[in-house]
Amino acid sequence: MADPMKMRATLKDGVADVRVLMVHEMESGQRRDAAGKLVPAWHITEVVAALNGKPVLKALWGPAISKNPLLGFRVRGAQAGDTITISWVDNRGDKRSDEVKVA
């Protein structure tokens, strides 16, 4: 199981500003190890963000997203105390889901 995400959701004028920092190697599949062998790609492939359980943003990611990915987005209509949930799955089938309250 991967390490938890760091998440923050700050409310301003009815819009929640969400920042997510995921912990993932995001191996590109282009890199070679010391022996010259290609290191196989290992990266997050899907991300879903939900507000109070309802999906608001879906993403497909490739290997070109940086290690320990950062994602920033804003959601209208959020209120203090609402729950933002972020879920991801990687190409090895590992998955992780974390949530934060809008503050």
Partner 1 sequence: MNPSRRNGLRSAGSLSLYAALSAIGLFEGRPVSAQTFDATLFQAKSLSELIRMLGGASAATSKEILITAPDFAENGALVPVTVRSQLPRTDQISLLVEKNPDPLAASFQLLEGVEPDLRLNVKMGQSSDVIALVRADGRFYVARKDIKVTIGGCGG
Name the residues that contact partner 1, by CB under 8 A.
15, 26, 28, 30-32, 45-46, 48-49, 51, 54-67, 69-78, 87-93, 95
Count other Cβ atoms within 10 Å, centred on residue 61. Answer: 18
C-beta closer to partner 1: residue 78 or 103: 78
Closest CA to 92 of 30, 44, 39, 32: 44
In the complex, minimum distance from the CB of residue 18 to partner 1, in angstroms, rounded to a whole number: 9
In the complex, minimum distance from the CB of residue 73 to partner 1, in angstroms, rounded to a whole number: 5
Q: What is the sign of the dihedral through the CA atoms of 98, 93, 74 and 23?
A: positive
